[in-house]
Amino acid sequence: MSDKSRQAYCYFWLFGLINNVLYVVILSAAVDIVGPTLPKSLVLLADIFPSLTVKLCSPFFIDKIKYSYRIWFLIIMSCLGMFLVSFKNLFVCLLGVSFASVSSGFGEVTFLQLTHYYGQISLNGWSSGTGGAGILGGASYMVLTSVFKVQVKLTLLMFSVLPFSFLFYFKLDSSDVNSNYQSLQEIDEAEDEQLEPFVVAFTHMNTSQSMHSTRQHISQTLKRLRRLVIPYMLPLTTVYLFEYLINQAVSPTLLFPINGDRESKSMPFFFHKYRDMYVTYGTLYQLGVFLSRSFGHLVRMRSLYILAFLQGMNLCSTVLQSWFYVVHSPWVVMILIFYEGFLGGASYVNTFLNILEQEKPEEAEFAMGAVSIADSFGVFLAALLGLGLEPKLCEHQITDNRPWCRME
């Protein structure tokens, strides 16, 4: 690996880490944000819907925005979002979650498109960094709040300074690995040149011509999107639907008694409260994601639907555990959650590696950004379904003399 390639890997690793770490922290804090009585999918919905909206709209406009402008937008939105999340008022908190979500979605589209210019090495760095965000976000939140007992408000404020690391974007000029461009300034200039004829033509059009041009642009963009659905978007959506149903709707009910009896003696030492189990599951999930996103490129999985099927099996297993209380020890469940994260990370990295390998160079940048819609759409569906699934599982557990889902 050359020095330039190593630099590109490290920078994109950092970008993936920072872009996703706030998303992870917010989901880890879901149980503290809404408490034990409200479904955790409420936070997931606020954390994914704005991001999904950005991704759905981005194919129609994002190529008109310079990368440097995007970076400043990411910093402002994510810092403001985390500041608001630290408030105790639920409405203000959810508003902050939404701001951070916009930043996360916009950032994912931006950096995935940038990997088109920097090649597979940058995608490997990005994927590993997004997995590392899970470890940093989930584990640090668990350690700070469960082990060191730091206040939730202070913990969330500590993470609000991380987005300034996006400023390392401006160091990318010296680490270019695509011979077609010498710097990101040249990439922005090339985008200006592509946009200039459009702007000039637009200024001379009448309203009717302008509307026709807009409709034609939308029609062409939709055709490009439809071609990506079956090979990439559908399996990725399915995987994320299954795994986030587990994470936000089922795992809050995968609980075990903490009361000092014989059964609870098998509990990990850091399970002091029931919310500690939820936070621990999130950390193990992110560990699995990190490992598969970091090393998934070494063992390629080109049949993405196999991963979707395996994740569906995980969902069935966890729902059965929640409903029937088959396993009476958390260790088996913890391993299953880790495996779930591993499959999710493998699906993500293999999807985008397939795009780089299979798509034409002139379509790769568009495809990298557009396919990112799929994971957010799967999470959004999971949030909607989870609003009903978690209360249903919890009500059944209460009638089954397992009231832990309503306890702190």
Pick 309 or 36 by higher pLDDT: 309
Within 119-233, residue ranges assigned H as helices are 120-134, 140-142, 152-159, 184-203, 207-228
Angle at 60 between CA 58 and CA 62, to 5 degrees: 50
Q: At what angle do helices 234-245 and 304-324 cross, to 10 degrees?
A: 20
Among 148, 137, 65, 150, residue whose Cα is nearest residue 107? 65
- Please report the domains of the chain, with CATH numbers, ordered by start residue: 3-406 (1.20.1250.20)
Residue type, 385: L
Contact 249, 319 (CB under 8 A): no
Q: What is this structure's pTM?
A: 0.79
Instruction: Say what angle helices 184-203 and 67-85 make with each other, to 10 degrees.
Output: 100
At 190 the pLDDT is: 57
**CA-based end-to-end distance of the chain:** 50
Digit-coded pLDDT (tens) for 187-223? 666 555 554 544 444 545 556 666 777 788 888 989 9
| Average pLDDT of the segment spanning 136-161 | 87
Q: Is 388 helix (H, G, I), strand (E, B) or coil?
A: helix
Which of the four pLDDT bands, split at 50, 70 and 90, describes residue 149?
A: confident
pLDDT of residue 299 exceeding 50, the answer is yes
How confident is the model over 319-377, as pLDDT tens digits?
999 999 999 989 999 999 999 999 999 999 999 999 999 998 888 889 999 999 999 99
DSSP labels, 363-391: HHHHHHHHHHHHHHHHHHHHHHHHHHHHH
